Structures are given as C-alpha cells and as structure tokens.
Amino acid sequence: MDHFSYLRGREPVFLLFGLGLVVFAALCALTGEAPVRYHGFVYRDEDPRRFWRLVVIYFLAGLFLFLIGLYLCLTSN
C-alpha cells in the first residue's frame, strides 16, 4: 500500500474535472469573457493581457488535472 492509494478510486473525478476546465477555457476564449474571482468578468477587449492569462491558467490547470487522472487510471490495478 502506498501513500496515494486513497486517490485510486477518484481517477474519473480528476479526468472529468480536468476535461471540464479545458472545455471551459476554450469557451472563455471563444466568447471573449472570463470570470474573475470576486470581480465579475474580464473581457478580451478591455483587458486582453489579463484575459489571456486567465484562459491559459484555466487550460493548464485542466490539463494538469486530466493528466493526473490519466496517470491514476493507467496505474491502478
């Protein structure tokens, strides 16, 4: 038994949440608005640098979670 055995049954959660974040980042990029915590939305026309930084953060977080879920799914016995 290893230290991360409690994560073995949760690989679908990581896969789905990661995939959801990647799709959310794509939707934000297509619509031109991204939500900001406690501040509403950032629009691509008003603040493009902050907007694209948020889209990249959402995408990378989703990719990271998806890869963790994929790793757990492939290594589970």
pLDDT digit string (tens) for the chain, length 77 residues: 566 666 566 668 888 999 999 999 999 999 999 999 888 999 999 999 999 999 999 999 999 999 998 888 887 75
Residue 2 has which token pair? 């290893």
pTM over the 0.85 mark = no
| DSSP code per residue over the chain | --TTGGGGGGHHHHHHHHHHHHHHHHHHHHHTEEEETTTEEEETTT-HHHHHHHHHHHHHHHHHHHHHHHHHHHH--
